[in-house]
Amino acid sequence: MLKADAFEAHLAQAKKNGPEPLYVLTGDEPLLVMELQDQLRAMVVAHGHTEREVMVYEKGFDWSALMNAGQTMSLFGDKRYVELRIPTGKPGRDGADAIKQFCSQVAAQKKAKEPVDTVTCLFLPRVDFQTQKSAWFTALDEAGTAVRIDPIERGYLPGWIAQRLKRQKQQVEAGEPGQRALQFMANQVEGNLIAAHQEIQKLGLLYPEGDLTEENIRDAVLNVARYDVFQLTESLLAGDLARFNRMVDGLQGEGEALVLILWTVTEEVRLLNRLRQAVDRGDNLQMLMKVNRIWGNKEKLIPQALQRLSADRLTKALMVVSGLDKQSKGLQIQKGSGPILEKLPGDPWDGLRMLGRLFV
């Protein structure tokens, strides 16, 4: 699979040489998916694919429509652009068979060097490691151009914002004030790239081209950050207490269910505890992560967390999440439960913040 930046280079080349018959875009970040989608559409339209058809996979979907899309002539003799959206990322058994057959059809067309009268693009959410190894996805990757659209990690967000400002001929002031301004903006828009895009555009409307001061950005940029519980566990693994506390505040303010948050955090603490014990016995961490299907951003974060966290610290963390679970269910912490549990605040949200301090 190509990454998004490599696909942009592919599109630039395709503007000269023409499109491929099959594309696959996979990712969960709406803004980045929409932008690449728009670039792809513009490229195929420039090559005469002006008739567009959109199909959505849902219950009762007729997979023969996909097969016919590349074979049926347009009513007006125009070149066609067909989009198939699979929101679940799981086409089912019939769909998997149809996709493999369709890919064979595309491969035969490419081998025969037939003209590309129909361009087909499949849209999928982010595919996990197991899906990437499936026969139907492998067929897509081999027959077409598959693109992985990764989210912008928190550490890269200030740089991403700076690049977007540069597109509209703006930049933050030099030195530490400019870096503080980028960090402030990243904190305000984290987890919500569409809103981030809007805030950047707003800066372009409010201020002229050139330097933006820290005051300009603080005055203009709203707090539109959105967090989820998986980002919360990543900040916990990173030992980033300030970010962890911001996320706890955000999730609490948005009315997220505390029970679900605690369940996810507890599972993460239990996993770390198991890994810590296994590593202390001499087991290989890379093999342990493979067995536990740890991939993506956590492949980097978990080894870093285990370097910081002793078995004793993780035992205390297990006790804290156990106490928080009881509190979230309306149960009281009994006296004599131990010094850690007796220090728990009465509000489990504050207890979550206390848990965060154990991971620094």
pLDDT in tens, 201-239: 999 999 999 999 999 999 999 888 888 888 899 999 999
Q: Which of 220, 237, 253 is the last residue of a domain?
A: 220
pLDDT at 331 over 80: no
- Shared domain for 202 and 236, answered yes or no, is no
Looking at 101-105, 198-202, 292-296, which range is the least confident one?
A: 292-296
Confidence of residue 269 (pLDDT cuts 50, 70, 90): very high
Q: Tell me the CATH number at 189.
A: 1.10.8.60
Same domain, residue pair 180 and 271 = no
| Total of domains in the chain | 3
Gap between the Cα atoms of 187 and 176, Å rounded:
16
Residue 249 lies in domain: 229-358
How far apart, in Å, are the Cα atoms of 349 and each of 114, 172, 242, 247, 275? 62, 36, 15, 11, 27
Same-domain pairing of 115 and 205: no
Do both 203 and 250 map to the same domain? no
> Quick one: CA dihedral 9, 15, 24, 229, positive or negative?
positive
Under 8 Å between Cβ of 306 and 278:
no
Return the bridge partners of 80, or none.
51, 118
Residues 159, 145, single domain; the answer is no
Residues 138 and 192 in one domain: no
26 lies in the same domain as 91: yes
Whether 32 and 85 map to the same domain: the answer is: yes
Domain end call among 149, 178, 210: 149
CATH number at residue 131: 3.40.50.300
Q: What share of the chain has pLDDT > 90, as a percent? A: 68
Question: In this structure, are 122 and 177 located in the same domain?
Answer: no
Domain boundary among 185, 220, 255: 220
In this structure, are 12 and 52 located in the same domain?
yes
Output the average pLDDT for the chain: 90
CATH number, domain at 304?
1.20.272.10
Dihedral (CA of 126, 131, 136, 141) sign: positive
The answer to whether the CB of 89 falls within 8 A of the CB of 132 is no
On the question of pLDDT at 74 being above 60, the answer is no
Please state, for a pLDDT cut of 70, what percent of the chain lies above it: 96
Paired tokens of 118 = 């129909």
Q: Are residues 30 and 76 in the same domain?
A: yes
Residues 126 and 72 in one domain: yes
